[in-house]
Amino acid sequence: MTVRAALPVLRTADTHCPYCALQCGMRLEEDTDGKVTASPRGGGMCKKGWTSPELLDHPERLTTPLLHGEPVSWETALDHVADRIRTIQAEHGKDAVGVFGGGGLTNEKVYQLGKWTRLALGSKHIDYNGRFCMSSAAGALNRSFGIDRGLPFPKEDLQDADVIVLVGANPAETMPPLMRFLTGAELIVIDPRRTATAEQAQLHLQPAPGTDLALANGLLHIAIEQGYLDHDYIKGHTNGFDEVRQTVAGYWPAFVERITGVSVPDLYAAARLMAGKKTAILTARGSEQHAKGVDTVTAWINLALALGLPGKPSSGYGCITGQGNGQGGREHGQKADQLPGYRMITDPAAREHVAAVWGVDPETLPGAGVSAVELLRKCGDEVKMLFVLGSNPVVSAPRAARVADRLKDLDCLVSFDFVMSETARLAEVVLPVTQWAEEDGTMTNLEGRIIRRKSLRGAPDGVHSDLWIMKELAARLDAPGAYSTDPEEIFEELGRASAGGKADYSGVSYERLEDRTFQWPVPSPDHDGTPRMFADFKFPTPDGRAKFIAVDHRHPAERRDRSYPLYLTTGRVLTQYQSGAQTRLIESLDGPDSEQFLQIHPDTAVRHGIGEGDWVRITSRRGSYTAPARLTTDIRPDTVFSPFHFPGAANANAAVSDVLDPISRMPEFKVCAVKIAPAAKP
């Protein structure tokens, strides 16, 4: 083995990992040969972070615009895109052009993208893949607490908790550096699988997929029965408990056991562990990606309020955001119904404020659009042209095969990307954009912490930023409003647009972010941010009190039956991220989890004539995919599991359900009915 001698360092940059919402600090170094390496800065990193620089100079990196798959100049590509916009909108109206954004875009890109869509395109149709992330938690947080910030306290507070309840979360694989903040507490993990996180738990509850709401109501029933409530907290800081008490009275333990499969003794053990302790309840995608995701998260918030947790030190409820800028991505105008600062686009005062910053008449702003899944459904019909930025819905969206068909039905698909993702392969125009180490900007992590992303070096020849592309297209369209390519200038405007909103960034500047971070809201330049949102037990609701909201269990939209006797649930694995468009290209991430698999209980496998490593076809009412079997007792016999990172014949999202939560419009990724059968290796 030849060891490469270390070369002199040419330049360095202190920045943050390009992947999950933990946004670990990292130092980048580029040597005189142009090789870039990453190392932790002020904490840890997982193997995805360590290997992230490998993508910067990957041979599959896009460096020239493509038109119908052929290289063209930027002038040709942008002129073509502008002509397509004008032609399609002249024939079908402004809303015939839509935008599908991403939860990994910087705050500056998110802000300008929302502005560009509504002013330059004049369209209401914008949403993003963060709709698939924590939109259900956002809906629950808003109606219970009056505000949506994933963690309303710093992650360091978790180190002093006595008990941490993880509901549908597997941070040992999805964000390993978070685990160091959880090691001092007793862990209760709620997951249909015995995951790497569940292996570290003092108590693992293994409910059937889609039954977390009943489980939460059952735990609250026991807390009432056993006298675990904080009555002074309920009386002094909340409303609505009596209705919730009446609802959960019917969730007696034996009934909950029948719904969830969690034994009565384990239910009592979980409630007893939480009682009278500094307890933090954290939900993630496992509890949220359901057609009743908002109500499910609400049930866990109800339990937290009844135990008197929110606002107390090292206690409360929080949501583990998934995508790198999942929090900031929904705060500043990329979401169909929102304007910067987490303002609602239907609010006349919000429209007036933002329009004044943009220098336009409020009446010129379009109304609310539709959610991500609904936007994709409209492709080829009401929506004739779609821009996709930082997302790969051909792999990541539910009912993925139909999504691919809808994108093919478009008159024009334009992809902004730095690799040829499965979605980009369908595009009429592909525009190569900068990567994280080549651009300045800000991100907002899972704690609502605003951080600086600093560039290490410039982009390769032929590559431009998303901001530059928006400005160039706006000029070609003679669009109202100003469009900058300077992230700092855009961030300053974002601050003015967000001023007075729930997510107020107006007191933050690049200068202030030079050597520290801030958790929003930060309403003035002398404000130190808001690390703990409910520290004084005051909630940003009209009366300053948190709200209990009564919710009832309802079954998954699709239940098991004789034709489809198993539940499929999906999730992430350690070495892959989201649709895998980036991580699947990194050779050093190759390993057991670099290809699709089906986790299945041995008893279930025997009944279906399946052995270890055998190929299996998994079929739902919507579609199918194939995967080799991995037999394990770590999963329930009525459930199978596959990761969602893989395309084509291995795409588990071809099978999952696109039924939506009525409030969050979150699809039901986490449970659908399937059948399995032996299959030939594809």
3-state secondary structure 617-628: EEECCCCEEEEE
Distance between CA atoms of residues 320 and 323, nearest Å: 10
What average pLDDT does range 483-505 have in this prediction?
Answer: 98
pTM of the model: 0.96
**Confidence band (pLDDT; 50, 70, 90) for 43?**
confident
Region of 225 please: left (phi>0), alpha (psi -120 to 50) or beta. alpha
Q: How many CB atoms lie within 10 A of CB 6?
A: 10
Which amino acid type is present at position 321? T
Q: How would residue 5 be classed by pLDDT, with cut points 50, 70 and 90?
A: low
Q: How far apart are the C-alpha atoms of 539 and 337, rounded to whole Å?
A: 23
pLDDT digits (tens, 9 = 90+) for 349-366: 999 999 999 999 999 999
DSSP 183: T
Domains and CATH numbers, the chain: 9-55 (2.20.25), 66-132+325-519 (3.40.50.740), 135-320 (3.40.228.10), 566-678 (2.40.40.20)
Q: Is 4's pLDDT higher than 70? A: no
Instruction: In whole angstroms, give the CA distance from residue 565 to residue 674.
Output: 6
Nearest to 630 by CA among 666, 604, 668, 664: 604
CA–CA dist 657, 161 (Å, integer): 37
Strands (DSSP E) along 376-455, which ranges?
385-389, 412-417, 429-432, 441-444, 449-453
Question: How many other CB atoms are there within 10 angstroms of residue 286's CB atom?
Answer: 27
Q: Has residue 395 got a pLDDT over 90?
A: yes
For residue 121, the one-letter residue type is L
Render 109-135 in DSSP notation, one character per residue.
Answer: HHHHHHHIIIIII--S-EEEGGGGTSH
Give yes or no for residue 537 having a pLDDT over 50: yes
Q: What confidence score (pLDDT) does residue 1 get? A: 46
What are φ and ψ of residue 93, in 5° steps? Answer: 100, 165
- Expressed in percent and rounded to 5, the helix, strand and coil fractions of the chain are 35, 20, 45
Task: State residue 591's pLDDT score.
Answer: 84
φ, ψ for residue 280, nearest 5 deg: -115, 125
**Backbone dihedral angles phi then psi of residue 23, each to the nearest 5 degrees:** 50, 55
Q: Do residues 582 and 594 make contact, with C-beta atoms less than 8 angstroms apart?
A: no
- Tell me: pLDDT of 608 over 80: yes
Task: Please report which confidence band the pLDDT of residue 7 belongs to, taking 50, 70 and 90 as the band edges.
Answer: confident
Give the count of beta carbons closer than 10 Å to the beta carbon of residue 376: 27
Q: What are phi and psi of 598, to 5 degrees?
A: -125, 115
169 in Cβ contact with 297 (< 8 Å)? no
Query: How many angstroms separate the CA atoms of 660 and 291, rounded?
Result: 5
Q: How far is the C-alpha of 213 from the C-alpha of 306, rounded, in Å? A: 15
Strands 163-167 and 279-283: parallel
Token digits of residue 478 = 């003679």
Give how far the C-alpha of residue 118 lies from the chain's centroid of Cα atoms, to the nearest Å.
23
Give CA separation, 325 vs 110, 284, 442, 505, in Å.
Answer: 10, 15, 9, 15
Whole-angstrom distance, CA of residue 124 vs CA of residue 593? 40
Alpha-carbon distance of 452 to 514, in angstroms, equals 7
Of the ranges 134-138, 220-224, 243-247, 475-479, which one carries the lowest mean pLDDT score?
Answer: 134-138
Q: How far apart are CA 366 and CA 251, in angstroms?
A: 45
CA distance 24 to 50: 11
CA distance 450 to 507: 11
- pLDDT of res. 133: 87
Residue 8: the pLDDT is: 80
Other Cβ atoms within 10 Å of 327 Cβ, number: 32
How many whole angstroms separate alpha carbon 274 and alpha carbon 272?
5
Compute how many other C-beta atoms are within 10 angstroms of the C-beta atom of residue 590: 11
- Cα 83 from Cα 89, distance rounded (Å): 10
Rounded average pLDDT over 213-219: 98
Task: Quote the CA–CA distance of 433 and 435 in Å, as a whole number.
Answer: 7
Backbone angles phi, psi at 138, to 5 degrees: -60, -45
pLDDT of 3 reads: 53
Extract the tokens encoding 425: 């392969």
**For all residues of the chain together, what is the average pLDDT?**
96
CA angle 193, 198, 201 (to 5 degrees): 150
Contact 399, 557 (CB under 8 A): no
**For range 176-198, the mean pLDDT:** 96
Please write the tens of the pLDDT for every residue from 223-244. Answer: 999 999 999 999 999 999 999 9
* CB proximity list for 101: less than 8 A, separation 6 or greater: 110, 113, 126, 127, 128, 129, 329, 334, 389, 390, 391
Length of the chain as a residue count: 682
Provide the total of helices (H) and of strands (E) in the chain, helices listed first.
Answer: 20, 28
Question: Which amino acid would we find at residue 391?
Answer: S
Q: Give the relative orientation of helices 212-226 and 293-306 as an angle to the nearest 10 degrees.
A: 20
Per-residue pLDDT tens over the stretch 624-674: 999 999 999 999 999 999 999 999 999 999 999 999 999 999 999 999 999
Quote the CA–CA distance of 491 and 62 in Å, as a whole number.
27
Residue 2 has pLDDT above 60, yes or no: no
The pLDDT value given to residue 98: 98
Structure-block tokens of residue 402: 């139909």
Cis peptide before 192 (omega within 30 of 0): no
% the chain with pLDDT above 70: 99
